[in-house]
């Protein structure tokens, strides 16, 4: 054993190894040292347990290479979404299109006109490059953009109704992921929550009888992740706007996902569009930038100049400011909505939602073909299933999809899942009825060979 310990190569030998330095590719030597220490640590403990017969540098080098490659990959990295959930918050919500990404890279790898007016040669306004497109698309008088829609709700309530009562239906006191709850946000903003109606029914006269001289706002919240079904009634945006006008109280709608496209055209159930809500006359509307919009994380606030001015001037606005990456992605993505057909094609979220069943089936067939071509020994077949929109949009809507079901002798679906998640480009699929499924609805065509390669790789582990 003493002899084996003596044979352990010096750390320096690895650090000077040309092959390893090549893999390091200019990244800090920290990663190579860490990989070497890990492998040598394992070796020492193996020697201690009597599991090692001889110490071989080349064999150790292979192990170092494997660990090094893993350490060199940034911890935040791409994964393949094979869950069928189009807006998966845990998987980064909306992917962005290539052209939008190319423009982003060009904006952030150099300097930009973020806050510089090139006509005048002096300081410009940060949001001006985005404002025009939002006004063009919606007809809104003014625009404010913040870090996310949760921030937008907090900002709007703080700016318009601090110390005043905000009337909201009991059926709309939502909680969404990440413990965002309307009553808590309301308390944080300094507004006073005035709940009206019941869980299942709220009428216009419920709001009306709650109005008093301290009422600051009428709030409507989109019930994004649930639906109240059966014996129900809620007050429409239009009715709320009429009531607001009658008493001179502003109306604010938190639209949640906020779509620019009428999803009924894709055969999905009704969701109000941003344009529609503004047309109905709300004073302020807010929604996310990375849900159905398909852009970057942001909270977009649109509405009447008088109110947006107040919102913009509030100190929280500066604290919730968005950066050039967000602005670049939003502007580039929003431009496509000037032509709906282009938006459906170029914005990945809409491309996935508007795929035909045949498109999805073809992707499934392609994956099966790749697997057969590569001699994959598992059992593979195409099954029909249901996927979902996710991200707090269309909670009850299912999307019909095709999945590739994969079974391997001697591997449980949980084990297949675990191994697929640990690949260099991880795949997150789902398990249904104890079978591992790759849902093709959310898979990009270019990812199909990568998924197939992963399936082959996970069988080498045995």
Query: Which residues of the chain form contacts with ligand PLP (CB under 6 A)?
Result: 148-150, 153, 174, 176, 180, 221-222, 224, 254, 256-257, 288, 299, 392
For the beta sheet containing 192-196, the strands, ordered from the edge strand earlier in sequence to the opposite edge, are 142-146, 299-303, 284-288, 251-256, 215-221, 165-169, 192-196
Between 131 and 290, CB nearer to ligand PLP? 290
Q: Which residues contact 429 (CB under 8 A, 6 or more apart)?
A: 82, 83, 417, 420, 436, 437, 438, 439
For the CB of residue 289, give the shortest distance to ligand PLP in the complex, in Å. Answer: 7
For the CB of residue 283, give the shortest distance to ligand PLP in the complex, in Å. Answer: 18
Strands 142-146 and 299-303: antiparallel
Q: Are 273 and 259 in contact (CB under 8 A)?
A: yes
Between 149 and 275, CB nearer to ligand PLP? 149
Token couple for 62: 């292979």
Please, what sign has the CA dihedral across residues 410, 415, 421, 422?
A: negative
DSSP reduced 3-state for 127: coil
For the CB of residue 174, give the shortest distance to ligand PLP in the complex, in Å. Answer: 6
For the CB of residue 153, give the shortest distance to ligand PLP in the complex, in Å. Answer: 6
For the CB of residue 389, give the shortest distance to ligand PLP in the complex, in Å. Answer: 12
Q: How far apart are CA 257 and CA 254, in angstroms?
A: 9
Between 326 and 354, CB nearer to ligand PLP? 326
Q: Phi/psi zone of residue 190: left (φ > 0), alpha (ψ -120 to 50 degrees), beta? A: left
Of 99, 352, 148, residue with least CA distance to 254:
148
Between 194 and 222, CB nearer to ligand PLP? 222
For the CB of residue 145, give the shortest distance to ligand PLP in the complex, in Å. Answer: 12
Between 116 and 180, CB nearer to ligand PLP? 180
For the CB of residue 126, give the shortest distance to ligand PLP in the complex, in Å. Answer: 19
Between 110 and 178, CB nearer to ligand PLP? 178
Between 218 and 221, CB nearer to ligand PLP? 221
For the CB of residue 151, give the shortest distance to ligand PLP in the complex, in Å. Answer: 7
Between 244 and 299, CB nearer to ligand PLP? 299
Q: How far apart are CA 171 and CA 201, in angstroms?
A: 7
Between 98 and 179, CB nearer to ligand PLP? 179
Between 171 and 299, CB nearer to ligand PLP? 299
For the CB of residue 135, give the shortest distance to ligand PLP in the complex, in Å. Answer: 21
For the CB of residue 256, give the shortest distance to ligand PLP in the complex, in Å. Answer: 3
Using CB atoms within 10 Å of the CB of residue 19, give its burial: 0 to 12 exposed, 13 to 18 middle, 19+ buried. exposed
Q: Which residues contact 399 (CB under 8 A, 6 or more apart)?
A: 84, 86, 268, 353, 386, 387, 388, 389, 441
Q: How far apart are CA 257 and CA 300, in angstroms?
A: 10
For the CB of residue 29, give the shortest distance to ligand PLP in the complex, in Å. Answer: 40
- Residue whose CB is nearest to ligand PLP in the complex, by number: 256
Between 222 and 351, CB nearer to ligand PLP? 222
Q: Are 152 and 299 in contact (CB under 8 A)?
A: yes
Question: How many other C-beta atoms lie within 10 A of the C-beta of residue 281?
Answer: 15
Radius of gyration of the chain (CA): 27
The DSSP line for 348-361 is HHHHHHT--HHHHH
């Amino acid at each position: 054993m003493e002899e084996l310990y003596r044979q352990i190569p010096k750390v320096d030998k690895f650090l000077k190894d040309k092959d390893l330095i090549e893999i390091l590719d200019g990244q800090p030597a920290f990663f190579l040292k860490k990989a070497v220490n890990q492998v040598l640590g394992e070796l020492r403990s193996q020697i201690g347990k009597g599991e090692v017969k001889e110490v071989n540098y080349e064999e150790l080098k292979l192990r170092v290479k494997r660990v090094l490659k893993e350490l060199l990959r940034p911890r935040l990295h791409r994964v393949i979404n094979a869950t069928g959930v189009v807006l998966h918050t845990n998987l980064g919500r909306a992917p962005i299109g290539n052209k939008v990404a190319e423009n982003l890279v060009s904006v952030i790898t150099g300097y930009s006109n973020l806050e510089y007016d090139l006509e005048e040669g002096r300081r410009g306004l940060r949001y001006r490059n985005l404002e025009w497109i939002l006004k063009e698309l919606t007809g809104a008088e003014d625009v404010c953009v913040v870090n996310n829609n949760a921030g937008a709700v907090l900002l709007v309530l703080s700016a318009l109704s601090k110390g005043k009562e905000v009337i909201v239906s009991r059926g709309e006191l939502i909680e969404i992921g990440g413990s965002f709850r309307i009553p808590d946000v309301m308390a944080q903003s300094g507004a006073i929550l005035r709940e009206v109606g019941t869980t299942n029914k709220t009428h216009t006269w419920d709001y009306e009888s709650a109005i008093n001289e301290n009422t600051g706002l009428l709030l409507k919240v989109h019930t994004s992740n649930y639906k109240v079904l059966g014996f129900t009634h809620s007050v429409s945006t239009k009715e709320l706007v009429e009531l607001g006008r009658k008493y001179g109280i502003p109306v604010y709608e938190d639209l949640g996902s906020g779509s620019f496209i009428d999803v009924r055209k894709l055969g999905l159930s009704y969701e109000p569009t941003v344009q529609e809500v503004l047309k109905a006359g709300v004073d302020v509307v807010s929604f996310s930038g990375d849900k159905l919009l398909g852009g970057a994380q942001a909270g977009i606030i649109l509405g009447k100049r008088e109110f947006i001015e107040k919102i913009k001037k509030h100190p929280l606005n500066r604290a919730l400011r968005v950066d050039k990456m967000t602005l670049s992605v939003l502007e580039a993505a929003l431009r496509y909505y000037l032509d709906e057909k282009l938006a459906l094609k170029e914005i990945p979220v809409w491309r996935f939602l508007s795929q035909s069943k045949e498109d999805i089936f073809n992707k499934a067939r392609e994956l099966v073909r790749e697997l057969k071509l590569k001699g994959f020994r598992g059992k593979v077949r195409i099954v029909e299933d249901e996927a979902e929109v996710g991200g707090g949009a269309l909670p009850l809507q299912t999307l019909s999809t095709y999945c590739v079901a994969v079974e391997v002798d001697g591997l449980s679906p949980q084990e297949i899942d675990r191994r697929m998640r640990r690949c260099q480009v991880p795949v997150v699929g789902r398990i249904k009825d104890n079978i591992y499924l790759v849902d093709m609805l959310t898979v990009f065509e270019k990812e199909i060979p990568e998924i197939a390669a992963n399936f082959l790789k996970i069988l080498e582990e045995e």
